[in-house]
Amino acid sequence: MDLSLRPLLVAALLGATGFLAGCATPTPEQKASREIFDPYESTNRSIHGFNVGLDKVLLRPAAKGYVAIVPPPMVDSFNYFAENLSMPGQMVDSLLQGKPKQAGIALARFVINSTVGFAGLSDPASNFEIPKVDTDFGETLHSWGLGEGAYIELPLYGPSTSRDAIGLLVDFVLNPLDYAKNQPVDNLGLYAQAVKRLGDRGRYSDAVDAILYESADSYAQARTIYMQNRRFKLEGDTPDLYITPDEISTEGF
């Protein structure tokens, strides 16, 4: 029986994004204020609780074990491997964003690291000073003018927005590698990403713990940090929106 993870995950993601797409959208005033639009907060919080619980009992201990047992260079290798597998998809995204140069870089990385880099297990492209590429279909949608929509926390995945969740789904379904003939393993990219996440969770353990277990409200902290970082990644510097040193009275402080 051909039991693939793909339809299951697509269904799950569709379920998650389906109820969001076309639902609440921020008003122009809300957009201008740059406040985070979170109309699904109670649902999001439930999912956050699930994610944190899963992290506590499974991901965190597994990640700690993984980085304790597997030597750091090998963890790096698996990360390079996962990154390399995402390059063809990122090439397509770059093209769709009208960035042919970045698409070329993604392709060059994929070709070099897949060959000289032992099937992507090392990163000689970086040694040749080929810049990193890090994009996704959420960014493509942004470049087409689609707003971020509502904040959502996805099961297993974590913080996202309705736009970025759709992007995630598209990247997943449209990964060109999955349409290549002679694939050694189904969903290889997906497993590689899962291993990469495990490695990242282990390597950055203290910092993730600080957010998830030491902050007063880990949901609110994860939400603000994700949104600030995501907006910066997509929009770059926005000096007009910087906080100035006269926005609040310091009298008495």
Partner 1 sequence: MSFTFSRRHLIATAGAVLASVTLPKSALALSETKAKSMVDQLVGQINRVIDSGKSESAMYRDFEGIFRSYADTSYIAAYALGVDGRRATSSQKRAFTEAFTGYIARKYGKRFREFIGGRLEVEDVRQIKNFLEVRTTAYLRGESPFEVAFHVSDRTGKELFFNIYIEGVNMLLTERTEIGSLLDKRKGNIDQLISDLKTIG
Which of positions 165-204 make contact with partner 1 (CB under 8 A)?
Answer: 197, 200-201, 203-204
**Which residues make beta-bridge pairs with 161?**
151
Q: Is 29 in the site for partner 1 (CB under 8 A)?
A: no
Q: Is 221 in the site for partner 1 (CB under 8 A)?
A: yes
The pattern of x and - marking residues 59 through 98 that bind partner 1 according to CB under 8 A reads: x----------------x----------------------
Pick 4 or 229: Cβ nearer partner 1: 229
Sole window of 7-15, 93-101, 171-179, 207-215 interacting with partner 1 (rule: CB under 8 A): 207-215
Count the Cβ atoms, other than its own, within 10 Å of residue 221: 15
The pattern of x and - marking residues 99 through 138 that bind partner 1 according to CB under 8 A reads: ---------------------------------x------
- Site size toward partner 1, by CB under 8 A: 48
Sole window of 16-24, 82-90, 112-120, 208-216 interacting with partner 1 (rule: CB under 8 A): 208-216
Q: What is the DSSP letter of 131?
A: P
Site for partner 1 (CB under 8 A): which residue of 61, 156, 176, 213?
A: 156
Helical H segments across the chain, by residue range: 5-18, 28-33, 41-54, 60-69, 72-85, 87-96, 100-115, 124-127, 137-143, 162-173, 188-203, 205-209, 218-235
Sole window of 22-30, 117-125, 139-147, 225-233 interacting with partner 1 (rule: CB under 8 A): 225-233
CA distance 56 to 9: 23
- Closest contact distance (angstroms) between CB of 103 and partner 1 is 20
Measured in whole angstroms, the distance separating CA 122 from the mean position of its chain's CA atoms is 22
Measured in whole angstroms, the distance separating CA 21 from the mean position of its chain's CA atoms is 19
Tokens for 76?
């790096």
Pick 87 or 208: Cβ nearer partner 1: 208
Q: Is 224 in the site for partner 1 (CB under 8 A)?
A: yes
b/e per residue 89-102 (b: at least 16 CB within 10 A) = bbbbbbbbbebeeb
CB proximity list for 40: less than 8 A, separation 6 or greater: 20, 24, 150, 151, 152
- Closest contact distance (angstroms) between CB of 141 and partner 1 is 18
Pick 2 or 206: Cβ nearer partner 1: 206
Tokens for 211?
């957010």
User: Which residue from 149, 167, 151 is spatially nearest to 223, judged by alpha carbons?
Assistant: 151
By the criterion CB under 8 A, which residues form the site for partner 1? 51, 55, 59, 76, 132, 156-159, 197, 200-201, 203-204, 206-208, 210-212, 215-217, 220-222, 224-226, 228-233, 239, 242-253
